[in-house]
Chain A
Amino acid sequence: MNLFSLVISYLKARPLNTLLNILLLSLGIAVITILLLFSNQLKEKISDNTKGIDLVVGAKGSPLQLILCNVFHIDFPTGNINLLEAERLSKHRLVKSAIPMALGDSYQNFRLVGTNRAYAELYQAELAMGEWWTNDLEVVVGSTVAELLKLKVGATFESAHGLSKEGHAHEESPFVVKGILKSTHGVLDNLILTNVSSIWKVHEEPGEEELTSEAVTLINPSSLVPSVEAGDSTKEITALLIKYRNPIAAIQLPRYINGQTGMQAASPAFEAARLFSILGVGVEALTGFAYVLIFISALSIFIALYNSLKERQYDLAIMRSMGASRSKLFIATQLEGISLTLLGSVIGLALGHGVLYLFTEVVEEGGKTGISAWVFYKEELYLLVGSLVLGILCSLIPSYQAYRTDIHKVLAGN
């Protein structure tokens, strides 16, 4: 016999009450854990994915849409920009580097991105197998794409027009998988990379094809898309990812682009922060809800202890008569509150990770986010410590009652 087994026996003697208290608290903790894991990892993903991109330039429209489409690859393009104009901008003195992006096709919901090798280098992507593309209609696929669609090097597929499954297939020009990327735990994992001219090729009307593919030698190839002549005013791309040459560019370049050209510039960092402040309202509301749950559970634990102490006054008095000191009864009651809150928060943490694991495993979109259920943050330790304090607090008054049990009055008063 010891205090702990006494406390466990007391908890087991009221199984429904104990279950309710633990359930309430663990639900609150689980919601907080999920939000914590989700928003922390989302923040990390966002900052990882926007690394090295100072500015995105595309067609006029919503700046957030421009970022979501070209950096995170979740929204639709705002429209196209002229290659000639893009080329001119890429040579601007404040631009250090510019990466072309051509979107519009997909395969099984995974986006095909017409770009160049610099885009992959932005995320330090390395090949897991195969090689980089050299010709049109050759692709390198991200690790998640390869895994989910079971694509091997040498496999061929036909892309569909548009960014959803419903688009009509470009049956006449199949793509060949040349390489598979190692996972970068970022947006690249969900993309199929190819060169810009491949995207153009699958969208050409039959007949038009002959004209471009026969231009074998180029006198002055475009800096963005080497397969076409510089100054080509008929070609279009979706966006440019720009890196500034110096800090002055951050002030001058967006103003120049938005004011002097027909294009739009948007900063990923700024738009991501804006997006997060929008999401933040939802996160805060849910967090508030979770704290309400925790508060109710604390109240419920307090009431349960308070009431059970009335029933247990004879237990307490008889224990005192058998030699238990006041402090022993105080500790026993504290232990009961702490056991409930600690058990509740441990179960809550496990529940939070478990639910997130199910989300990433079962829901396809969940898997694509690249969020892992088995990441642990130090905030979870704070949750444990917090629940310990909560246990102490809500058993404080009942413990004090136990402490000052009047043995004589209780035992003589029957």
Chain B
Amino acid sequence: MIKTSSLSYSFGTEKKIQFSDLTIQTGAQFLLLGESGSGKTTLLHLLGGLLRSQVGSIEVNGTDITKLSESGLDRFRGQHYGFIFQRNHLISALTVEKNLLMAPFLAGLTQDHARVDEVLSQLGIAEKKRSRIQDLSLGQAQRVAIARAVLNKPSVILADEPTSALDDKNCDRVSDLLIAVAQQQQATLLIATHDQRLKNKIKNLIQL
């Protein structure tokens, strides 16, 4: 469960965004909509502990992440979150398999090779396990990024414009997979986007 109260963020002295209080139940799926510059990414990063908030509290699974130390927050991120971004941000020096294994390694969890196979076949890219990142298509790479995000079975999946770089066909496929995997793992899914194509798939909206 994610719960925020009186959360705000200031950019310098002039611009300040005040967010209305949110409560998102575990396993729920939400779209975070808003114009460019409305603070979608800022809110998502605040909720994901990528950006430290200045005012207000954010409670994730019973922990107020604004009160965590820097390294405590790192550990919390590793164990509770999965992130997906507009660009896949895969590590091009590593193979698909090693990219996925980075998730448990960095989170300090055991590296389960069977789990890698399971997730890859679930996302329909089992044969790409040993491929280099450069050899993947855009859609495949985004699916690898999803695989990496869900590998540790996080309770919260945060996605920032995960489909806006994809064509209709890939958008459809990637978002369906993301929604299905999140559902199967009982993970809370929050997608920040201005991609209208996703509105048909997720009905819960948070408008900024």
Binding site for B on A (CB under 8 A): 1-2, 5-6, 9-10, 12-13, 314-315, 317-328, 407-408, 411-412, 414
Contact, CB under 8 Å: B71 / A321 = no
Do the beta carbons of B74 and A13 come within 8 Å of each other? no
| In the complex with contacts A5-B98, A320-B74, A414-B86, A10-B93 CB distance below 8 A | yes
Residue of A at shortest CB range from B99?
A1
Q: How far is the CA of A326 from the CA of B73 in the complex (A)?
A: 11
Does B101 make an interface contact (CB < 8 A)? yes
Bound: A321/B41 CA distance, A: 14
A2 and B102 alpha carbons, distance in the complex (Å)? 8
Given A9-B91, A318-B89, A408-B50, 20 new contacts (CB under 8 A): A2-B105, A6-B93, A6-B102, A9-B94, A314-B89, A319-B91, A319-B102, A319-B106, A320-B50, A321-B81, A322-B83, A322-B107, A323-B75, A323-B107, A324-B78, A324-B106, A407-B51, A411-B85, A411-B160, A414-B87
Q: Complex: how many Å from CA A318 to CA B82? A: 11
Q: List, in ascending order, chain A residues with CB within 8 A of B86's CB.
A: 414
Please list the 9 inter-chain residue pairs (A to B) with the smallest Cβ-Cβ separation, ordered nearest first.
A323-B78, A13-B93, A1-B101, A408-B51, A323-B107, A1-B105, A322-B106, A324-B106, A318-B89
Q: Which residue of the partner chain B has the closest CB to A317?
A: B89
A321–B94 Cα distance when bound, in Å, is 17
With an 8 A cutoff between CB atoms, is B48 at the interface?
Answer: yes
A285 to chain B, nearest CB (A): 41
Q: How far is the CB of B23 from chain A (nearest CB, A)?
A: 24
Which residue of the partner chain A has the closest CB to B85? A411
B91 touches A318 (CB 8 A): yes
Q: Does B70 contact A (CB under 8 A)?
A: yes
Interface set of B (CB-CB < 8 Å, partner A): 41-42, 45, 48, 50-51, 70-71, 74-75, 77-79, 81, 83, 85-87, 89, 91-94, 98, 101-108, 111, 148, 160
A321 touches B70 (CB 8 A): no
Residues of A within 8 A of B91 (CB): 9, 315, 318-319
Sampled A-B contacts (7; CB under 8 Å):
A315-B91, A318-B85, A319-B91, A322-B77, A322-B103, A407-B45, A411-B85
Q: Is the CB of A13 within 8 A of B92?
A: yes
**A414 shortest CB reach to chain B, Å:** 6
Which chain A residue has the least Cβ–Cβ distance from B76? A323
Taking the nearest CB of chain B, how far is it from the CB of A388, in angstroms? 24
Residues of A within 8 A of B85 (CB): 318, 411, 414
Task: Write out the residue numbers on chain B whose beta carbons fall within 8 Å of the beta carbon of A325.
Answer: 70-71, 74-75
Assembly CA distance A325 to B160 (angstroms):
22
Contact B48 A321 (CB under 8 A): yes
User: In the bound complex, how far is the Cα of B102 from the Cα of A270, in angstroms?
Assistant: 66
Contacts of B108 in A (CB 8 A): 323
Residues from chain A with a CB closer than 8 A to the CB of B104 are 1
Which of chain B's residues has its CB closest to A326's CB?
A: B70
What B residues does A319 contact at CB under 8 A? 91, 102, 106
Cα separation A311 to B91 with both chains bound (whole Å): 11
B98 touches A9 (CB 8 A): yes
B contact residues around A10 at 8 Å (CB): 93
Tell me the bound Cα distance from A314 to B64 in angstroms. 27
Contact (Cβ within 8 A) B89 A315? yes
B98 near A1: Cβ-Cβ < 8 Å: yes
Q: How far is the CB of A4 from chain B (nearest CB, A)?
A: 11
Q: In the complex the two chains form, is B107's CB within 8 Å of A412's CB?
A: no
Residues of B within 8 A of A6 (CB): 93-94, 102
Chain B residues, Cβ within 8 Å of A320: 50, 74, 77
Which of A5, A10, A315 neighbours the largest number of chain B CB atoms within 10 Å of its CB? Answer: A315
In the complex the two chains form, what is the Cα distance from A323 to B78 in whole Å? 4
Which residue of A12, A315, A327, A412 is within 8 Å of B42 (Cβ)?
A412
User: Shortest CB–CB separation between residue B151 and chain A, in angstroms?
Assistant: 10
Which among B50, B87, B92, B105 is the interface contact of A321 at CB below 8 angstroms? B50
| Chain B residues with CB under 8 A of A407 | 45, 50-51
Question: B50 contacts which chain A residues (CB < 8 A)?
Answer: 320-321, 407-408, 411
Judging by beta carbons under 8 Å apart, are B111 and A1 in contact? yes
Minimum Cβ distance to chain B for residue A132 (Å): 71
Question: Does B83 lie within 8 Å of A321, measured CB to CB?
Answer: yes
**A277 CA / B108 CA spacing, docked (Å):** 60
Q: Which residues of A contact B75 (CB under 8 A)?
A: 323, 325
Distance A394 CA – B193 CA, assembled complex (angstroms): 42
CA distance A1 to B113 in the complex (A): 11
What is the bound-complex CA distance between A10 and B106, given in angstroms?
Answer: 17
Q: Cα distance A320–B83 when bound, in Å?
A: 11
**Which residues does chain B contribute within 8 Å of A326, judged by CB atoms?**
70-71, 74
Is there an interface contact between B42 and A1, defined as CB atoms closer than 8 Å?
A: no
B70 cross-chain contacts in A, Cβ below 8 A: 325-326
Residue pair A412, B94 in contact (C-beta under 8 Å): no
Nearest-CB residue, chain B, relative to A308: B93
Closest to A5 in B: B98
Residues of A within 8 A of B94 (CB): 6, 9
Which residues of A lie under 8 Å from residue B79 when comparing CB positions? 323
- The closest CB in chain B to the CB of A322 belongs to B106
Q: Which of A322, A324, A408, A414 contacts B45 (CB 8 A)?
A: A408
